[in-house]
C-alpha cells in the first residue's frame, strides 16, 4: 500500500489593509509560526512588524475603496498576481479590500480561506466581510451579537 505524505508546513498568505485591520492581523500572526508566511498590506512602514517572523515575505499593495474604481482595478490585478505567484494553501484576512481580493483569488487557486471581520464593526458586519462570505471557508466575527448560525461565527475576540 502506498503511504500518503502530507505537507505539514503550509504556505499562508496573511492580508490586511492599514490601521486596526493590520493590528488585528498582527495579533493572530503568532499562529503562523512554523509556516511559510507572506504578509500583504498597504503601508510599507509595517515591514518592521513582520521582521520577527524569520523568512516571512512582505508585500505592499495600493489601498482602494469602493469610490475609486481605477484603484480597485489596480488592487485586484496586484492581488491576482501575488496569489498566482505565492500559491498559498491558506489565505487569511482581517479586511478590507486587499483581503477581499486576496481571498477571492485564493479560492480560485484552491486555497482555504479565513475572514476575521474587524473588531471595529460593532453594529454590523463590514461590507467586505458581507461580500466575501461565500468565498470564505471560515467566516468569523469578533462580536457575539453579530454571529449567526450560517455565519459569521463567533469563537472569541482578538483584543
Q: What is the pLDDT of residues 4-60, one digit of tens each?
A: 445 589 999 999 999 989 999 999 999 999 999 999 999 999 999 999 998 899 999
| CA 88 from centre of chain | 11
Which residues span the domain enclosing 65?
Answer: 11-146
Assigned domain for 156 exists = no
Per-residue CA distances from 56 to 43, 66, 82 (Å): 16, 30, 14
What's the per-residue H, E or C state across 34-85?
CCEEEEEECCHHHHHHHCCCCCCEEEECCCCCCCCHHHHHHHHHHHHHHHHH
Would you place residue 1 in the very low, low, confident or very high pLDDT band (cuts 50, 70, 90)? very low
For residue 151, tell me if it sits in a domain.
no
The domain spanning residue 132 has which CATH number?
Answer: 3.40.50.2000
Query: Domains in the chain: how many in total?
Result: 1
pTM: 0.88
Question: Domain for residue 153, yes or no?
Answer: no
Would residue 157 count as lying in a domain? no
Whether 154 is covered by a domain: the verdict is no
Give me the percent of the chain exceeding a pLDDT of 90: 63
* Rounded Cα distance, 84 and 109, in Å: 8
Amino acid at each position: 500500500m502506498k503511504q500518503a505524505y502530507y505537507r505539514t508546513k503550509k504556505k499562508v498568505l496573511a492580508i490586511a489593509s492599514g490601521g486596526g485591520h493590520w493590528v488585528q492581523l498582527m495579533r493572530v500572526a503568532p499562529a503562523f509560526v512554523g509556516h511559510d508566511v507572506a504578509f500583504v498590506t498597504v503601508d510599507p512602514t509595517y515591514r518592521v512588524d513582520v521582521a520577527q517572523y524569520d523568512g516571512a515575505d512582505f508585500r505592499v499593495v495600493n489601498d482602494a475603496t469602493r469610490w475609486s474604481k481605477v484603484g480597485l482595478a489596480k488592487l485586484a490585478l496586484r492581488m491576482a498576481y501575488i496569489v498566482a505567484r505565492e500559491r498559498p494553501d491558506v489565505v487569511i484576512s482581517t479586511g478590507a479590500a486587499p483581503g477581499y481580493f486576496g481571498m477571492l483569488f485564493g479560492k480560485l487557486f484552491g486555497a482555504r480561506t479565513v475572514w476575521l471581520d474587524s473588531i471595529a464593526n460593532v453594529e454590523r458586519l463590514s461590507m467586505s466581510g458581507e461580500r466575501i462570505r461565500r468565498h470564505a471557508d471560515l467566516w468569523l466575527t469578533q462580536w457575539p451579537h453579530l454571529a449567526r448560525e450560517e455565519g459569521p461565527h463567533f469563537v472569541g475576540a482578538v483584543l
